[in-house]
């Protein structure tokens, strides 16, 4: 005799529920990233609009660290109320999200402006690779800071920065992949806003989350500590 399917044991209902959670996570991220959303929708991709895009990107840190926290809760519990969890985690992490994002945001601005300055001379083109490396290191450090702060919410900023920079350098190939995925989020947002804001952020950030978790587990697989 066939057992009656319920919501709890129906795989299709679970999949729809999980898709709903991820979609709502994207919508919450969109809500806290309104400055960049408005810039992406209303401004043309033009060098003259670069200052406005840079300014709008300053505010994305709280949203992305909260998305990491949402993904972490989803991984641990599976069944969550995405909006309530997002609001709670945003309240807890928004300030540190800004602080850690300042590393990637300011480092990228510094690398781009100095790169444009040095390329005015022929010898300056030899510096381009250095500025690309600087941008990647700063962005990877911000991403790692978000992850380790979410996993260790009571840890001090100094300790988070130290371990984030360590993994950025020690696992540079994973850091490079994460930076590429992170940049793809914004490329898709600018080129295909409907997909870029509604679908891809949670997918790419999910991959980044798994990458950072894997690199931490490789180092600490024999240690009983939460990373």
Q: What is the pLDDT of residue 154?
A: 92
Q: What is the pLDDT of residue 215?
A: 83
Q: What is the pLDDT of residues 116-169, one digit of tens each?
A: 888 787 777 778 888 999 999 999 999 999 999 999 999 999 999 999 999 999
Residue numbers of the chain with a pLDDT score lower than 70: 1-9, 218-227
Q: Tell me, letter by letter, the H, E, C secondary structure of the chain.
A: CCCCCCCCCCHHHHHHHHHHHHHHHHHHHHHHCHHHHHHHHHCCCCHHHHHHHHHHHHHHHHHHHHHHHHHHHHHHHCCCCHHHHHHHHHHHHHHHHHHHHHHHHHHHHHHHHHHHHHCCCHHHHHHHHHHHHHHHHHHHHHHHHHHHHHHCCCCCHHHHHHHHHHHHHHCHHHHHHHHHHHHHHHHHHHHCHHHHHHCHHHHHHHHHHHHHHHHHHHHHCCCCCCC
Q: What is the pLDDT of residue 5?
A: 53
Q: What is the pLDDT of residue 1?
A: 44
Q: What is the pLDDT of residue 225?
A: 46
Q: What is the pLDDT of residue 183?
A: 96
């Amino acid at each position: 005799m066939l057992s009656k399917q319920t919501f709890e044991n129906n795989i299709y209902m679970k999949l729809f529920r999980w898709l709903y959670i991820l979609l709502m996570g994207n919508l919450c991220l969109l809500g806290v990233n309104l400055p960049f959303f408005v810039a992406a929708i209303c401004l043309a991709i033009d060098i003259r609009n670069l200052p406005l895009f840079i300014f709008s990107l300053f505010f994305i840190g709280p949203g992305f660290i909260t998305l990491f926290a949402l993904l972490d809760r989803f991984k641990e519990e599976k069944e969550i109320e995405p909006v309530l969890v997002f609001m709670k985690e945003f309240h807890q992490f928004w300030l540190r999200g800004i602080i850690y994002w300042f590393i990637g945001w300011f480092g990228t601005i510094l690398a781009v402006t100095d790169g444009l300055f040095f390329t005015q001379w022929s010898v300056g083109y030899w510096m381009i690779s250095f500025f690309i490396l600087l941008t990647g290191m700063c962005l990877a450090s911000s991403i790692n800071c978000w992850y380790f702060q979410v996993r260790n919410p009571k840890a001090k900023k100094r300790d988070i920065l130290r371990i984030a920079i360590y993994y950025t350098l020690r696992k540079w190939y994973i850091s490079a992949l994460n930076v590429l995925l992170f940049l793809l989020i914004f490329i898709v947002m600018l080129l295909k806003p409907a997909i870029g804001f509604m679908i891809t952020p949670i997918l790419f950030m999910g991959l980044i989350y798994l990458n950072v978790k894997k690199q931490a587990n490789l180092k600490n697989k024999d240690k009983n500590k939460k990373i």
